[in-house]
Amino acid sequence: MTPVTVLGIESSCDETSAAVVRNGTLCSNIISSQLFHSEYGGVVPELASRAHLRAILPIIRKALDDAQVSIEDVDAVAATQGPGLIGSLLVGLNTGKGIAIARDIPFLPVHHIEAHLFSPYLHDPHPEPPFLGLVVSGGHTLLILVRNVGKYELLGTTIDDAAGEAFDKVAKMLDLGYPGGPVIDARAARGNPNAVTFARPLLDSKDYRFSFSGLKTSVLYHLRDRAENGVLRLNEDEVDDICASFQRAATDVLASKVLRAAKEYDIRDIAVAGGVSANSGLKHALHTGAERIGRKVFIPDIAYSTDNAAMIAMLASLQLQQGAQGGLQSPAFARIADSMFQ
């Protein structure tokens, strides 16, 4: 019998999440975010794993309750295998394996980035392969050609900072707190994107590599130049202008490369996922640019584009449809393995 009810678990970073997908339809998605990390200006791995350990069972229980299924109704369990923080991953992975062993049902280890690529499948309509997938988060910036489930071609990745990391670092320079993306986005809406011309590294390179470190440095130099005797005083309007100009530079590069790839590879559908996909400047640039060249952009709701278990359960469900058997021999891994790509 083909399994139809999948319990998904995600614990790769600072979100503990569980979700149920039944017959390809999402029934529940519970996410508990570890907000206390903001106090430290970034995620503290050891504290993250301990918090996952406390949260995981109640979160799974709630996901099952919300989906109105009991643990006996679950036909397969899936959990994020990597990339991510090893200690955090182990909590979700081993909880998932434990449930699968106890219930004698398949366990599917899921690649976090692969799950992000298919997160638009949580909505209808969704992109159809072959499609382009842009994954932009605090840890990743990847442009991938998705030929089908399990068949991926890496077109380009960042050679230094991730896109979200650049937002976080610029927010830190401006003393705007962590995470930086949402606050920069909000302030950019009030500022002038043409006030300062920041660097747009690799914008004109012929490939699909990205670089955000030079952009971040260009903001840093601008702030240094503005300081008098080492003291920087900016009024609120100036901060808004810097946010708007930085955001325009970052999203210009992302959107222009994605749209160029859509033309070069003759791809109609474009999926965008990861925390930075919530950025209003990026959304605007992609939607207007795509419309101009007859392409379609799919961006999941924010709850499904940041880390969540719904995308884990959804990808596992697609894999099961293709005959995946799963297996318990699946260690956690920290970094993206080249083996994901053809």
Q: Is 15 in the site for Zn ion (CB under 5 A)?
A: no
Give exposure, 74-86, as e/b (b: 16+ Cβ within 10 Å).
bbbbbbbbbbbbb
- 182 makes contact, choosing from Zn ion, ligand KG4, none, with CB < 5 to 8 Å by partner type, with ligand KG4
Smaller CB distance to Zn ion: residue 100 or 314? 314
| Residue 211 contacts which entry, Zn ion, ligand KG4, none (Cβ below 5-8 A, type-dependent) | none
Sign of the C-alpha dihedral, residues 325, 64, 79, 24?
A: positive
Distances (CA, A) of 294 to 270, 282, 291: 11, 18, 5
Beta carbons of 88 and 11 less than 8 angstroms apart: yes
**Candidate ranges 125-133, 244-252, 287-295, 300-308; the one touching Zn ion (CB under 5 A):** 300-308
Report in angstroms how near the CB of residue 178 gets to ligand KG4 at its nearest: 8
Closer by beta carbon to Zn ion, 85 or else 145: 85
CB of 317: closest distance to Zn ion in angstroms? 19
127: preceding bond cis by omega (within 30 degrees) = no
Largest CA distance in the chain: 73
SS3 state at 44: coil
Could you tell me if 268 and 295 are in contact, meaning their C-beta atoms sit under 8 angstroms apart? Answer: yes
Work out what residue 167 binds among ligand KG4, Zn ion, none; the CB cut-off runs from 5 to 8 Å by kind.
ligand KG4
Least separation in angstroms between CB 76 and Zn ion: 22
Chosen from Zn ion, ligand KG4, none, partner binding at 168 (C-beta under 5 to 8 Å by type): ligand KG4
Instruction: Based on the shown chain and the rule CB under 5 A, indicate whether residue 137 belongs to the binding site for Zn ion.
Output: yes
Nearer to ligand KG4, 7 or 272 (CB): 272
- Integer-rounded Cα Rg, in Å, for the chain is 20
Q: Which does 279 bind (CB under 5 to 8 A by kind): ligand KG4, Zn ion, none?
A: ligand KG4
**What's the one-letter identity of residue 194?**
N
Contacting residues toward ligand KG4, per CB under 6 A: 13, 137-139, 164, 167-168, 179-182, 185, 274-276, 278-279, 306-307
Q: Residue 11 and residue 222: Cα distance in Å, rounded? A: 38
Residues engaged in binding Zn ion (CB under 5 A): 137, 307
